[in-house]
Structure 1
Amino acid sequence: MPITKRQIAVLHVLKQQAGFGEDEYRDTLFRVAGVRSAKDLDQTGFEKVLEWFEALGYRTPRKPNRVNFGQRPGYATQKQLDFIGDLRPKAFDHDTDQGFSHWLERFFHVSHPRFLSVKAAGSVIEALKAMDQRKK
């Protein structure tokens, strides 16, 4: 699965922070991930490049910024919401909010994971795990 535009932007920011020229950046991509352009990277290659920048001492974003909804009795816990956020890109081929929202609406009758009950959040987690396993 190719990387997203946001992931490409992250790599370009890291390139700028490191002060790499275009040739040096492309040589690094080739040495680390075997590609000449960030557009050609897959998720595994992207992770390798992030690890390489981390080894150089640069801070890389490992998890997207997440909103903490706090403790809400009867609703999904923050731990469940974070777990759903981690499983979502693995289960869906194209990481689009619209596709995931449509899936949630169709099967769980909510527009966003924060509206899930604790029980429903567990069901969503199990469904996402099963979807990921089927892909493998």
Structure 2
Amino acid sequence: MKLSEVSFRSALVQIGGVASLKDLDQQGFEALIGFFEYLGFAPLVTQGRTYGKRPDMASLAQIELIRTLWGEFTRGAYDGEDELNKWLELSWKISSLRFLKVETARKIITALKAMKARAA
């Protein structure tokens, strides 16, 4: 089955709530994927992004939660992860999320939740 460009753009606006893929958030992405699966589309790869087996390292779910909390805290003011990486380096002495240990990830999540609550 092939989806036309017009149909795709229409689904993007009506289901994802955005006009461009770059503006799509996680909730919109999941809604679109559900719609595409309903139409009969199946992913080519069933496994998402992974860093492989990493004992004592942060899980992909923790990393994604940190990204989400950072985006909510900064209210989307920064594109990409440059500012997040700068904050991680200054505050936690970690240059990137891929080097994050599970215990530090828990602390960062707690800190970001508190920062977000104070900003509200």
**Is 1:90 equivalent to 2:59 in the alignment?**
no
- 1:52 pairs with 35, 44, 52, which one? 35
Aligned residue pairs total: 112
**Is 1:38 equivalent to 2:20 in the alignment?**
yes
CA separation in 2, counterparts of 1:33 and 1:19?
19
Aligned equivalent of 1:102: 86
TM norm structure 1:
0.58
What per-residue deviation string (whole Å, max 9, x for no partner) do you get for residues 18-45 of structure 1? 422222223333443455x335854243
Taking a change above 3 Å as real, the CA distance of residues 129 and 19 of structure 1, as seen in their structure-2 partners, is same
Residue 102 of structure 1: how far off its partner (Å): 0.6
Quote the RMSD (CA, aligned, Å). Answer: 3.4
**Is 1:25 equivalent to 2:12 in the alignment?**
no
- The letter for the 2-side match of 1:47 is E
Percent identity over paired residues: 27
Judging by fraction of residues, say which structure has more helix: 1
Gaps in structure 1 of 5+ consecutive residues: 1-17, 72-76
CA separation in 2, counterparts of 1:133 and 1:54?
36
